[in-house]
Structure 1
């Protein structure tokens, strides 16, 4: 089964590039099958990682950035892949 983890943070206004640089430097203790990073208006950054695991298995997650870099706690979601119908 494939599990995708989504990590989304909103930077302090004007610090989106700093948050993007910070998240790009973060390394996980294991390499995911895939990792993609996105940015959006309002200085938001999204990282999605894919893992070959069961839904409830432990998987490495990105940490919380320094509180001076973000406006709120990171939002995290977990999804499992659904076979095509």
Structure 2
């Protein structure tokens, strides 16, 4: 089974590039099948990692960034892949 972990944070005003650099520099305690970085307006950064694991497996996740780098707590979601068309 493939599990996708999504991590989304909103940077403090004007600090989107810094938050993206911070997210890219984070080491994970394991190697995902894939790791993708995305950005959106309002200095939001999204990181998706794909893992070959059971849905409820213990998987490494990105931590919370320093409080002054973000405007709110990180949002996290976990999804099970249902394949591609």
TM-score, with normalisation over the residues of structure 2? 0.96
Match of 1:15 in 2: 15
CA apart distance, 1:7: 0.2
Match of 1:46 in 2: 46
Gaps of 5+ in 2: none
RMSD value, Cα: 1.2
Distance in 1 separating the partners of 2:47 and 2:56: 20
C-alpha change, 1:38 and 1:83, in structure 2 (3 Å) is: closer
Pairs aligned (count): 85
Gaps of 5+ in 1: none
TM-score, with normalisation over the residues of structure 1? 0.96
Distance in 2 separating the partners of 1:37 and 1:59: 18
